[in-house]
Amino acid sequence: MPLKVDLSQFGLKPFRCYARFDNGQEEKLRASFDHRFAMKCFVDALEAASAHRPGALIGGVPIGESTDGQILFQITCLQKKENGIACDDFFTAVCRRDCVEQFCAELEEQYQRPAAIYLPASGPQLVKPRAVRLHHRRGVKLVSPNGLPVKCVDRTSRWGNPFEIGRDGTREEVVQKYREWFLTGAEPKKVGRYVVDPQSLRDRIHELRACNLACCQPGLPCHADFLLEQASQSEVA
């Protein structure tokens, strides 16, 4: 089911046919949003629209719908640089389905560059939320960016990596050791206050299915990415 958001809790700035979340409230919606995932959504949106709008530098992809039936879009704006393309705006907007074309035209007028918004023709069943990796920081409340539940997989849980950076190798090496231990290991290891048998993790990987996983900062190698893959494969199975 698509993410349902009650817009009454957010401050909205009207802009003709659509409304943009104000900066403070928007953070509540996309706090800890995995930027790589957002960019993938953007690229997928442009690929879907490329036949109709080649060369687009503004892309919108639906990430859910509001409780009153408006569509929630993630908008990414790029600009050409001498050394390639860079992102210069990244925000969330809401728009009625029948106003999407006008919304696209407004974006082109405001940013002075081609825009393309991907809108499935099949109806209200929008983009299925995809589990992402979040940053778990002590004392900071985790907020789901996509409506999926959040589970911590650092050493405060049994899903933490028993291999430590420095003692057991580099960051990349301890991630690889976790992968091998999870897939083929038999020896239990201490993870925080837990003693964890890797077979029990293999048996319980379905518990992480359709969940955002929180551990170290996105962008750094982390065993959480491997767990996301395994949980996704368990869903397919």
CA angle, residues 33, 34, 35, in degrees to nearest 5: 100
Q: Which of 86, 117, 148 is the last residue of a domain?
A: 117
Sign of CA dihedral 39, 33, 129, 199: positive
pTM (two decimals): 0.52
Per-residue pLDDT tens listing for the chain (237 residues): 345 667 776 777 777 778 887 766 666 565 544 555 555 655 665 555 445 555 667 777 777 777 777 888 878 777 777 766 666 777 888 888 888 888 888 888 888 877 877 776 544 444 456 788 888 887 777 777 666 788 999 999 999 999 999 999 999 999 999 999 999 999 999 999 999 999 999 999 999 998 989 998 878 899 999 999 999 886 555
Same domain (yes/no): 17, 102: yes
78 plus 145 within the same structural domain: no
- Cβ atoms of 113 and 58 within 8 Å: the answer is yes
Q: Are residues 139 and 109 part of one domain?
A: no
Last residue of a domain, one of 117, 142, 163: 117
Q: Tell me the pairing of strands 150-152 and 133-135.
A: unpaired
Q: Whole-angstrom Cα distance, residue 131 to residue 231?
A: 9
In whole angstroms, give the CA distance from residue 229 to residue 233. Answer: 6
Q: Is residue 39 part of a domain?
A: yes
Whether 163 and 84 map to the same domain: the answer is: no
Range of the domain at 213: 133-236
Instruction: Flag whether 217 is in a domain.
Output: yes
Domain shared by 94 and 185, yes or no: no
What is the per-residue DSSP string for 8-32? GGS-EEEETTEEEE-HHHHHHHHTT
Residues 153 and 186 in one domain: yes
- Residue 76 CA to residue 57 CA, distance in Å, equals 8
Answer with the one of 117, 144, 176 that is the final residue of a domain: 117
Tell me: do 229 and 141 sit in the same domain. yes
Tally of domains in the chain: 2
The C-alpha atoms of residue 202 and residue 183 are separated, in whole angstroms, by 7
pLDDT confidence of residue 154:
95
Q: 112 and 10: one domain?
A: yes
pLDDT at 85: 64
Same-domain check for residues 101 and 187: no
In this structure, is residue 122 part of a structural domain? no
